[in-house]
């Protein structure tokens, strides 16, 4: 099943139902990484004017989560410079309330972007406040198989935009675009511009057109030459005599699917040959 279709199905679920699946679904394969980067860039610009008390661990953890994409416990601990046990307790407390979600939302490459952004953030809190000096970057790992955290509001924003992109990816294209796709996929081109070459290229064409029944002369004069740049009848002979390809033709007076004079080609190991 194409990934875009699977993403559309999962992301179309009710938000609360989808959030309950986070422990069993690898959301890094569902959420669009470009959307995550886009949302992260927006969060990077968010500022707060009110100071939080130094001992307000829950408040600092909450504000960090609201201004970041997916993050790990090690990452937030290193950034906040607070007692690890207190931060983990706040994370668990916020998760129990439903404010934070746990899961795997992004791969390590994308998630590591926050290590760079944290270098530009301010000291003393998970948010940029006016007038504070810059902090040093976090060196904590962010990504891989480690548990990640994400604020529910950030998750829903990412989910909504990812769903929109997934729907666009599976939206039917115009017939003309589909025709061009088929032509390109089959390697058809003007003289000298055919995609495939040699006996290997001919084998590729036969694999693509397996079971298609056409007049024998048409294969030799139009189908193969339009797809294989240097096609020669000897290439087909080579595949047939070498046992790589077999052909199936109409029988005299037969009532099969093939019309008189038509033949179809198959790779020698094709499962379709059992029905011929």
Tens digits of residue pLDDT in 203-247: 999 999 999 999 989 999 999 998 898 899 999 999 999 999 999
Which pLDDT belongs to residue 3? 66
Residue 204 CA, distance from chain mean position: 26
Which pLDDT belongs to residue 233? 93
pLDDT 10s digits, 182-192: 777 777 766 55
Q: What whole-number distance in Å separates Cα of residue 28 and Cα of residue 12?
A: 16
Average pLDDT over residues 84-102: 95
Residue 158 CA, distance from chain mean position: 15
pLDDT 10s digits, 238-276: 999 999 999 998 654 444 555 668 999 999 998 887 655
Q: State both tokens at 56.
A: 């307000």
Question: Which is it for the CA torsion 169, 174, 177, 183, positive or negative?
Answer: positive
Is the model's pLDDT at 42 over the cut of 50? yes
The domain ranges of the chain are 3-169, 175-275
Least confident segment among 1-15, 29-43, 145-159, 185-199: 1-15
Is the model's pLDDT at 38 over the cut of 90? yes
Which pLDDT belongs to residue 124? 43
The tally of CA atoms less than 13 A away on the side-chain side of residue 86 is 13
Q: State both tokens at 154.
A: 């950030």
Which pLDDT belongs to residue 26? 81
Judge whether 150 and 65 are in contact, CB under 8 Å: yes
The tally of CA atoms less than 13 A away on the side-chain side of residue 276 is 20
Residue 242 CA, distance from chain mean position: 40
Which pLDDT belongs to residue 10? 72
Q: What is the largest CA-CA distance in the chain?
A: 93
- Length of the chain equals 276
Which pLDDT belongs to residue 117? 55
pTM of the model: 0.55
Is the model's pLDDT at 12 over the cut of 90? no
Q: How confident is the model at residue 44 (pLDDT cuts 50, 70, 90)?
A: confident
Q: State both tokens at 128.
A: 């940029």
Question: How many angstroms separate the Cα of 17 from the Cα of each of 3, 33, 62, 153, 229?
Answer: 20, 22, 23, 15, 54
Beta strands in 155-223 (DSSP E): 214-215
The residue assigned the tokens 């500022």 is 47
Residue 22, classified by CB atoms within 10 Å of its CB into exposed (0-12), middle (13-18) or buried (19+), is middle
Which pLDDT belongs to residue 1? 46
Q: How confident is the model at residue 74 (pLDDT cuts 50, 70, 90)?
A: very high
């Amino acid at each position: 099943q194409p990934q875009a279709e699977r993403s559309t199905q999962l992301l179309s679920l009710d938000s609360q139902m989808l959030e309950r699946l986070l422990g069993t679904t690898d959301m890094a394969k569902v959420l669009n990484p470009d959307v995550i980067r886009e949302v992260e860039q927006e969060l990077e610009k968010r500022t707060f004017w009110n100071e939080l008390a130094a001992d307000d661990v829950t408040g600092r953890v909450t504000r960090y989560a609201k201004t970041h994409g997916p993050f790990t416990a090690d990452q937030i601990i290193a950034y906040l410079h607070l007692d690890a046990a207190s931060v983990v307790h706040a994370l668990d407390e916020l998760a129990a309330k439903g404010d934070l979600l746990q899961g795997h939302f992004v791969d390590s490459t994308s998630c590591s972007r926050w290590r760079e952004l944290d270098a530009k953030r301010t000291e003393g809190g998970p948010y940029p406040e006016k007038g504070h000096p810059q902090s040093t970057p976090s060196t904590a790992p962010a990504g891989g198989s480690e548990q990640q955290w994400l604020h529910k509001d950030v998750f829903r924003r990412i989910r909504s935009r990812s769903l929109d992109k997934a729907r666009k990816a599976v939206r039917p294209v115009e017939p003309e675009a589909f025709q061009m796709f088929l032509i390109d996929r089959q390697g058809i081109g003007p003289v000298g511009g055919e995609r495939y070459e040699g006996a290997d290229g001919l084998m590729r064409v036969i694999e693509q057109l397996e079971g298609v029944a056409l007049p024998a002369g048409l294969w030799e004069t139009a189908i193969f030459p339009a797809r294989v740049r240097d096609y020669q009848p000897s290439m087909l002979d080579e595949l047939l005599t070498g046992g790589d390809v077999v052909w199936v033709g109409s029988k005299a007076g037969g009532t099969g699917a093939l019309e008189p004079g038509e033949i179809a080609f198959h790779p020698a190991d094709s499962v379709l040959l059992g029905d011929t």
